[in-house]
Amino acid sequence: MPVIAKNNQINHNFKILEEFEAGLALTGAEVKSIKTKHISLKGAFISVKNGQAYIKKLHIPIYAKASKQSTQNYNTDSDRRLLLTKKEITYLSNKTDEKGLTIIPISVYTTRRLIKVKIALVKGKKKFDKREDIKTRDINRDILRKLKSF
C-alpha cells in the first residue's frame, strides 16, 4: 500500500473523529498522472449531494504523455466521485449536517492497481487546542530525551 500523497496539515488543524476508505472514479489519464505522484490534496474536501459523495478541489494535473484529444476539455480541479456504499454516504451526510464537522481526505494510495482515498470525519481545532497539542508534544520529547540520557 504505497502512499502517493498525504495531507500533512490535518493533525495540526483538525481532530480526527472517524476514518473511511473510498475509491475514486477516474479516467485513464488521471490514473496515470496520479501513479506518477502528480496530485495535490491541499484545500481538498468532500461534499455529499443527491446521495453521491464528491471530492472537490483535488488537483490532478494533465498526464504529460496523454493525447491532445483527451486533454482538450480537461479541468485539473473538477469534482470527482467517491465510491462509497449508500450506508456510508447517508451516515456521512447526517454527520456533516452537525455543526463543526466536515469530511477531508487524509491520503491517496494504491492497493494492487486501484487508487483509494482515506477520508476522515473531522472537527476543526481552536487556537488553544493547537497550543495544548504543541505543549504535550514538547513535554513528551523532553521526557524521552531525559530517559535516553540514563
| The pLDDT of residue 68 | 67
For residue 39, which of 59, 24, 9, 23 has the smallest C-alpha distance? 59
| Whether the Cβ atoms of residue 80 and residue 26 lie closer than 8 Å to each other | yes
With 0.85 as the threshold, say if the pTM is over it. Answer: no
Domain boundary assignment for the chain? 3-124
Cα 46 from Cα 122, distance rounded (Å): 11
Q: What are the strands, taking DSSP E only, across 86-140?
A: 101-111, 114-124
| The pLDDT of residue 116 | 92
| The pLDDT of residue 35 | 84
Q: Which helix (H) or strand (E) holds 31?
A: helix 28-35
Walk along the chain (150 residues) in steps of 10 and give the mean pLDDT of each run: 84 87 86 84 89 89 72 72 92 86 92 90 86 91 89
- In CATH, the number for domain 3-124 is 2.40.280.10
